[in-house]
Amino acid sequence: MRTILLIVASITIAIGAGGCEGPSGQAPTGSANSHDLAGDQMTDKLVLTEQQWKSRLTPEQYHVLREKGTERAFTGKYYAAKDKGLYKCAACGQGLFSWADKYDSGSGWPSFTAPIDDEGVAAQEDRSLGVTRTELVCSRCGSHLGHVFDDGPAPTGLRYCVNSAALDLEPDK
């Protein structure tokens, strides 16, 4: 089952779910017809220049989301949070994870057993540390979220390990 999920995610990326840059290396700008309702996925890609991202995000968010950085373990605002709500991409507001799928993995980062749906996150290969890992990116804006590992609890057996700086929590009302 895990292999199938990763294959589906790889196919999604091959079709064009990843990345915001055009062929010139510059990101085109703009977005249209987006909506931001809890649980609904935004349908249009959000593409901004790096300067626009820098003005929109805090320095820590920019480092994690756009430069594929990682916050130190046990320092993020959501790693131990138990508040009910919807975790959204801090860069574009797309709904990603439910509080109901969050658990304490002991890793020091917010961990989830699954995204709210398969369309919100995309997976791509990451070889940045000399080992092959599966990177998670927001399917709407291409921002780095964290990584997915196959050592999670049932029912999925997956651990979506996400940086707090990549998330905003919209509390349940």
pLDDT tens, residue order, the chain (173 aa): 343 344 333 333 332 333 322 223 333 333 333 333 334 455 689 999 999 999 999 999 999 999 999 999 999 999 999 999 999 999 999 999 999 999 999 999 999 999 999 899 999 999 988 889 999 999 999 999 999 999 999 999 999 999 999 999 999 98
Neighbours of 100 (CB within 10 A): 12
Q: What homologous superfamily does CATH list for 2-31+38-171? A: Peptide methionine sulfoxide reductase. (2.170.150.20)
Neighbours of 88 (CB within 10 A): 23
Active site residue 161: yes
Q: Which helix (H) or strand (E) holds 149?
A: strand 144-149
pTM, entire model? 0.76
Domain segments of the chain as ranges: 2-31+38-171
Residue 137: per-residue pLDDT: 97
Which one is catalytic: 20, 92, 141, 161?
161
At 91 the three-state DSSP class reads coil
